Amino acid sequence: MIKQELTTSFYLADLNELNSEEIELIEDAKIALDSAYSPYSGFSVGASVLLNDGKKIRGNNQENVAYPSGLCAERVALFYVGAQFPNHKIKTIAITALSKSFEIEDYISPCGACRQVMAEYEEKQDSKIRILLHSPNNKVLIADSVEDLLPFIFKSPFLKKY
């Protein structure tokens, strides 16, 4: 048996340390919180995706009483991009959250399903997606790629049949 180690890297920053484009993207994700539909959990998530041509696409979580029929904010935004802008590349995604029942003090990280979808888009577009995880205290965790959040990505060219 051989022990192996895996490292990942990310940045921690204050909101005011980001460039204006990243700050605007986080503000856009915060706006997306306003139309989140989360009557069951009271936990709203907003996402904003920046495309290579400067377009911004918002998404937010959409719950459903017939759980798990709802969808996370990240996938709402990413699937919209895939459906409406299939030839655009995703540069950055910003994610933020707000809870009606408790104070969020840390970064909210995407669930495994959302990380896997982001990984698929990175592979599809053959370029990294920058990820900005915003906390309500204006701290930001920055990852340069989905692999920094999901080191053992499920992907295989053998699964694709043409």
Tokens of 27: 């503000």
The pLDDT score that the predictor gives to residue 6 is: 86
Question: Domain limits of the chain?
Answer: 11-149
Q: Domain 11-149: which CATH class? A: alpha beta
CA 159 from centroid of its chain's CA atoms: 25
Catalytic residue IDs: 74
pLDDT tens readout for residues 90-116: 999 999 999 999 999 899 899 999 999
Give per-residue burial for 69-98: e unless 16+ CB within 10 Å, then b: ebbbbbbbbbeebbeebeebbbbbbbbbbb
Rounded mean pLDDT, 135-156: 91
pTM over 0.85: yes
Whole-number average pLDDT of the chain: 94
